[in-house]
Chains A and B, each alone.
Chain A
């Protein structure tokens, strides 16, 4: 992994802005920020202890070439996708998407914080839904409930049981999913092929090894 980081810094001659512009989704927008601070002022996670750098600062850090500080930062993982900043930015930067783009790139570079709950959910969700082309809600919730062990998992499940029963009664949750049943796409294979092709194209576009 650290190899990959070295390769990238070498490829971009330590020009981290260029690296982000080409490697992170929506990264080409970073240079357009005019440092007004509206996004930081709008962000609901602003006063959260995990919130190291608001978007404005992340963008500044990128321009200042602070690669480690950005990629290791927990900040972009804190984004709740509320889109407050996105709609308010006077320069029309798609900030929410940039935050996710940078987070995703940090993950690829092996720099995502360990045990980060957003990362855990994202990964779980991705694996869950790409498997059959449809989300398996029962398994998804189970994985999330039991992420911190059996006891806490049971506690969470019990606390939510009324909601679950309601959902089942309304036909919104299929218990059979627990056993691998439930809704699925007809051509899971086709979906897997599609995703593989998409990845290949992306790697090509970004000049990454497959």
Chain B
């Protein structure tokens, strides 16, 4: 590569030139930033400004550019110079927009701007132009595991987009659970009657689609490789194992029903008590005529018991709501009413949950004469020729009962996921220790595996709550913690067919995007398109394995010499490995311990008599940094003594940055990251949690340095905290003033 030539550009547009002393900024870039070339421009993002920069790159040999203008989140199309390293000094959203335009604010505002110029210069000098992951794979075939509604939809959507699809189904036919339904809950106007289950239509479309290859009676025996170059062994019953080249994977393995045998008090084992799936079988047998029980008697009265073994506060049964079963009972009550309006149909519920247009469906059932009673069912017993359901009427507040020929239990969904990785790891450890029972357990758990990944981190995608596959609920529903492997349908959360089909479509699109990115050596979301990837300076590595263990995406294996082996295309570029590494040998071309460390050092720290404290803010680029930018757009002012550095994730924060900052005279450090834990919002799932855990250890260091605990502050920030964030910053700044200057100043 050519010799490094640096350039800084100071923009004077957007009032920057009016509010700030541009000449002083130029001086900061030249003198402190030591840039080879420094230019001012009245309107940097204009065609003329962009041409100026392009000209410098082409004719002056500029390789490193510090753009001191607006936020790195703004004008990304204009400031797109792929051949050079770029840093951004945020003078607009980060300085003039969050400071009042007043005489007394002028000095501190200018100081802030000069610091950001120095920081941008320092950062870019520590950067390299990312060259892209050389380890790419170019397979563009989508693997869909599971041939139910979700799987068939994902396969079709993928194929319609022009991609080859391999569809693997465990049983001998496509259709999954939906194929067992007599009819389905309506998904279109007027939402008044059950509809055809739609399976035959999808199967016909798949059969007719040359892009889709279907394996029936087949399972995934092994998944090796990485996004864009998976090698998947498909074991077909009574046939040879086939190996397919796969680019991305969708797990749509669906659910099984909760075992009703576990509900003896609700009549499990009684001849005239069935679960919803049992009723579907009766309805299919009736084929539109009057529904008959197993003993052949025509059903004249039926009671539906909602939430059977669900939403169980005692945690004996399922703790969650399966979401579809209220509407399913409505549908099934209609089976009876449509065949014979004189059948008594009673639905006993505690809350009837009818999301979306299901409300119309519910109303239609009421119109057809289905009775809905708010009641908590105590038990179901055999009586006479039928059953007696004892329940508490929750409106009339009394114990009562109802008799029926048939009782239907709305039991819930249990996801068909592989083994829980934590449990498996534990069993593995015990088995390695020689425990025979544990060995047996490992074999048993592995037999449940869906994907059989040969990843160091375990054979399947991690689970989150209640055995469902992890998925980012709020922002990226289908993402799992394994890059280019997506979960769709009831395997990631309970849902009905309509939702599952939507899910499958979304997952197919994400999977296609992931394959394409992998082929180009780029990151998948949320740093979609990022060409950088982590590398380790192995000479310094102590083989502590923290990176391997902490990587939320299972991207790091070990080579034969037990050094970390990065799988670039599985990596999401979160930097958690970099934050974790105690000897700091992991870095990205454009993001490293040095790029941030250099910025920290570039800030001018006034002495203890100046009454100008300095607070370092390390802000997550996914939520906190945009929130700060938006605070700027809304002109919500905050303290001029803070200096903000965006980080990829709290997980990427190396403790050295904090100790260095405090050692060099900063009065406080604020960390801003996404919520972690059960309701996590971290874009890298585990990053903020791991980062925070790491930071919690720093308090000992603070004590050792004789510093107050409050010198470090960890803040949970959501992207919506536009109003509250400035206030929290100001509160913290006030707390810092109260504590007085750091004793490390000027040392």
Interface set of A (CB-CB < 8 Å, partner B): 17, 31-32, 34-35, 56-57, 60-61, 63-64, 91
Across the interface, B367 reaches (CB within 8 A) one of A17, A31, A63, namely A31
Complex contact A57–B395 (CB within 8 A): yes
**With A34-B352, A34-B362, A91-B363 in contact, is A60–B373 under 8 Å at CB?**
yes
Alpha-carbon separation in the docked complex, A160 to B143 (Å): 88
Enumerate B330-382 residues with CB–CB distance to A below 8 Å: 352, 362-363, 366-367, 369, 371-374
**With A35-B395, A56-B395 in contact, is A63–B371 under 8 Å at CB?**
yes
For A56, what are the chain B residues with a Cβ–Cβ distance below 8 Å? 395
Complex contact A35–B367 (CB within 8 A): no
Complex contact B396–A64 (CB within 8 A): yes
Complex contact A32–B367 (CB within 8 A): yes
Interface flag for B400 (CB, 8 Å): yes
Instruction: Describe B's contact surface by its main secondary structure.
Output: mixed
Complex contact A31–B371 (CB within 8 A): yes
Complex contact B373–A63 (CB within 8 A): yes
**With A57-B396, A64-B393, A64-B396 in contact, is A32–B363 under 8 Å at CB?**
yes
Complex contact B393–A60 (CB within 8 A): yes
For B366, what are the chain A residues with a Cβ–Cβ distance below 8 Å? 31-32, 34
> Whole-angstrom distance from the CB of B713 to the nearest CB of chain A?
45
Interface set of B (CB-CB < 8 Å, partner A): 352, 362-363, 366-367, 369, 371-374, 393, 395-396, 400
Alpha-carbon separation in the docked complex, A176 to B372 (Å): 57
Alpha-carbon separation in the docked complex, A8 to B366 (Å): 24
* A–B Cβ pairs within 8 angstroms, 18 of them: A17-B371, A31-B367, A31-B369, A31-B371, A32-B363, A32-B367, A34-B352, A34-B362, A34-B372, A57-B395, A57-B396, A60-B373, A60-B396, A61-B396, A63-B373, A64-B373, A64-B393, A91-B363
> Whole-angstrom distance from the CB of A51 to the nearest CB of chain B?
15
Nearest to A53 among chain B residues (CB) is B396
Alpha-carbon separation in the docked complex, A152 to B369 (Å): 51
Alpha-carbon separation in the docked complex, A209 to B369 (Å): 27
Alpha-carbon separation in the docked complex, A193 to B598 (Å): 101
For A31, what are the chain B residues with a Cβ–Cβ distance below 8 Å? 366-367, 369, 371
Q: Pick the 9 closest A-B CB pairs, nearest first.
A: A60-B395, A32-B366, A31-B366, A35-B374, A63-B371, A60-B396, A35-B395, A57-B395, A31-B369
Nearest to B397 among chain A residues (CB) is A57
Nearest to A63 among chain B residues (CB) is B371
Alpha-carbon separation in the docked complex, A60 to B374 (Å): 9
For B363, what are the chain A residues with a Cβ–Cβ distance below 8 Å? 32, 91
Nearest to A61 among chain B residues (CB) is B396
> Whole-angstrom distance from the CB of B243 to the nearest CB of chain A?
56
Alpha-carbon separation in the docked complex, A57 to B369 (Å): 18
Q: A31-B371, A60-B393 known; 20 other A-B pairs, CB under 8 Å?
A: A17-B371, A31-B367, A31-B369, A32-B363, A32-B366, A32-B367, A34-B352, A34-B362, A34-B366, A35-B372, A60-B373, A60-B374, A61-B396, A63-B371, A63-B373, A64-B373, A64-B393, A64-B396, A64-B400, A91-B363
Alpha-carbon separation in the docked complex, A106 to B286 (Å): 42
Alpha-carbon separation in the docked complex, A35 to B352 (Å): 10
> Whole-angstrom distance from the CB of A76 to the nearest CB of chain B?
16
Nearest to B369 among chain A residues (CB) is A31
Alpha-carbon separation in the docked complex, A189 to B393 (Å): 52
Nearest to B370 among chain A residues (CB) is A31
> Whole-angstrom distance from the CB of A137 to the nearest CB of chain B?
43
For A63, what are the chain B residues with a Cβ–Cβ distance below 8 Å? 371, 373
> Whole-angstrom distance from the CB of B705 to the nearest CB of chain A?
60
